[in-house]
Amino acid sequence: MKDDFQLQLLKKALLEDDSLFWKKRELQTFKQIKQELTVYGNIILKGSQIVIPSKLQKNIIRLAHKGHQGLVKTKQLVRTKVWFPNINKMVEEVVKSCTACQAVTPYNQRNPIQIYPTSTHPLECLDVDYAGPFPDGKYYFIMVDDFSKFPFVKKVPSTNFKQLKPVLDETFALFGLPKELKSDNGPPFNGYELKEYLSSLNIKHHLITPRWPEANGRTERFVKTFKKALLCATINSNNPDAEIQEFLINYRSTPHSTTNCPPYQIMFNREINNFLPTLKNKTFHEYNPQTDIDNRTKQNERANRKRRTFEHRLQLGQKVLCKQQKKNSLTPLFDPDPYTITRITGSQIEARRGEKVIVRNSSFFKPHHSAQSPRPEYHPSTSLAPSRSSQSEQTRTPFPTTPPRSTAPATIPLRQDNTEDKVNSPPNQRVETPTERRPQRDRKPPSKLRDYLVEL
């Protein structure tokens, strides 16, 4: 406390009980609680809490944060022993800047689901993915038409390009070349051979955001449905491949949830003959593409409300932490080494750390709070003794009339019965233990009794 000008001034104000001291700028944060402050040897107490000098405040908080308790618990622990102005705000700054806590604390942010432009005709854009591997070591290559939602399923022995090329050649020869092929960034689709093959056919290859399968949600949803059908077929039959074909017949002839029309009807402009009886002269309804947009908009609005989505607030040049894959039970949720954002494209974020560049969805990132520089110390330009001239200047300077109220819990003042615990000062300067002041609520009669004479 000897090196802290603010506490030296506070000690002198408490001992001399001079009202001129309390008009100084440095003591405005203590003015409202001065009745709770006492001098005990070389320290100042607020009740039973030690008032900490500004140089030691952050060190005290770091000691209380050992073990990395949360924000509330750290505040509670600090306030059991010590106090200083703006204690809550400073605890929040120190705890939020703790890199270890940031790396293990979840951060829930999801961008609202967007409605992207759909195709204008069948087979303009194909969404592709793999299902598997399955116990026989094989995969199913799946393509879903963006316009009609018509699925193509082909069983392949592996995911390499040599097995994929014949499937694409057969599909393109039967239905024509699409304008775009959308896939994830997995090894089957990010190879050089596939890139050259699509480029030679003038087909755009749209790679979605890495590790964000929702960007290819239509295919991902069909893969989930397909796996369920395959599991049921394996349980019920010795020939699951035949049951998969039956599943595809029914799926393609069932009205889709967004188009309200069967995929087969939109694809081939006629009804499909399936296992159910039908009328030959049944009225044929033309498909309206606006129906798909309207239904998807309603579904997205419901999903956004359920997920409580909101737009990210990340900015270029901002330091962020990125979610990482969990390798074991001690792997933190976020990589503790921060990245710097270098590009923002909607919800797709590109970040760099040294030579490493990653591209992820915005929900993978959380802002990184770094430790702030320490607060500037007091550099007094006047002596500790108040002067009348300085007082006259201070009266012309507006002071805050309502300093921040202490949020520390009420404490019981220490007893000072022993003479050796008292400050060696004249009797008229000794500060007695103050009684605790509590706020009183305003008592008013209820409005229903305003027409009556009532004595309280």
Report which of 131, 301, 325 is spatially closest to residue 219, judged by C-alpha positions: 131
Task: Give me the pLDDT at residue 89, please.
Answer: 93
Q: What is the mean pLDDT of residues 430-438?
A: 48
Opening angle at CA 242, ends 172 and 223, nearest 5: 60
The yes-or-no verdict on residue 357 having pLDDT over 80 is yes
Q: Which residues contact 295 (CB under 8 A, 6 or more apart)?
A: 257, 258, 259, 260
The yes-or-no verdict on residue 401 having pLDDT over 80 is no
HEC profile for 143-179?
Answer: EEECCCCCEEEEEECCCCHHHHHHHHHHHHHHHCCCC
Task: Give me the pLDDT at residue 421, please.
Answer: 40
Task: Give me the pLDDT at residue 25, please.
Answer: 84
Task: Give me the pLDDT at residue 111, please.
Answer: 82
d(CA 249, CA 269): 16
3-state SS class at 208:
coil
Burial of 442 (0-12, 13-18, 19+ CB in 10 A): exposed
Read off the pLDDT band of 92 (50, 70, 90): very high
pTM of the complete model? 0.62
Question: pLDDT digits over 134-156, tens only?
Answer: 998 999 999 999 999 999 999 99
Opening angle at CA 382, ends 56 and 13, nearest 5: 65
Read off the pLDDT band of 440 (50, 70, 90): low
Q: Would you say how long the chain is, in residues?
A: 456
Percent pLDDT > 90 in the chain is: 46
Burial of 216 (0-12, 13-18, 19+ CB in 10 A): buried
The yes-or-no verdict on residue 414 having pLDDT over 50 is no
Question: pLDDT digits over 175-230, tens only?
Answer: 999 999 999 988 889 899 999 999 999 999 999 888 888 888 888 999 999 999 99
Q: Is the peptide bond before 133 cis (omega within 30 degrees of 0)?
A: yes
Task: Give me the pLDDT at residue 393, please.
Answer: 39
Question: pLDDT digits over 271-320, tens only?
Answer: 888 888 877 755 556 777 778 778 878 888 888 888 788 888 899 999 99
Phi, psi of 108 (to 5 degrees): -100, 105
Task: Give me the pLDDT at residue 292, please.
Answer: 77
Task: Give me the pLDDT at residue 237, please.
Answer: 78
Read off the pLDDT band of 455 (50, 70, 90): low
Q: Which residue has the higher pLDDT, 444 or 414?
A: 444
Read off the pLDDT band of 351 (50, 70, 90): very high
Sketch out the chain's domains with CATH numbers.
5-97+374-429 (1.10.340.70), 125-304 (3.30.420.10), 319-367 (2.30.30)
3-state SS class at 77:
helix
Task: Give me the pLDDT at residue 299, please.
Answer: 81
Beta bridge partners of 47: none
d(CA 335, CA 252): 44
The yes-or-no verdict on residue 54 having pLDDT over 70 is yes
Q: Determine contact, residues 21/6, Cβ cutoff 8 Å.
A: no
Read off the pLDDT band of 254 (50, 70, 90): very high
Task: Give me the pLDDT at residue 103, please.
Answer: 92
Q: Which helix (H) or strand (E) holds 205?
A: strand 204-207
The angle, 0 to 180 degrees and rounded to 10, between the axes of the packed helices 192-200 and 161-175 is 20
The yes-or-no verdict on residue 10 having pLDDT over 80 is yes
The angle, 0 to 180 degrees and rounded to 10, between the axes of the packed helices 87-96 and 71-79 is 140
The yes-or-no verdict on residue 96 having pLDDT over 80 is yes
Read off the pLDDT band of 439 (50, 70, 90): low
Task: Give me the pLDDT at residue 283, please.
Answer: 55
Beta bridge partners of 356: 353
Q: Which residue has the higher pLDDT, 309 or 350?
A: 350
Give the single-character DSSP code of 427.
G
Read off the pLDDT band of 124 (50, 70, 90): very high
Q: What is the mean pLDDT of residues 326-349?
A: 91
Task: Give me the pLDDT at residue 456, please.
Answer: 53
Report which of 382, 374, 423 is spatially closest to residue 25, judged by C-alpha positions: 382
Task: Give me the pLDDT at residue 80, please.
Answer: 93
Task: Give me the pLDDT at residue 392, please.
Answer: 40
Comparing 8-22, 195-209, 227-241, the range with the smallest average pLDDT is 8-22
Read off the pLDDT band of 441 (50, 70, 90): low
Q: Which helix (H) or strand (E) holds 195?
A: helix 192-200
Provide Rg for the chain, Cα atoms: 36
The yes-or-no verdict on residue 402 having pLDDT over 80 is no
The yes-or-no verdict on residue 49 having pLDDT over 60 is yes
Task: Give me the pLDDT at residue 389, please.
Answer: 41
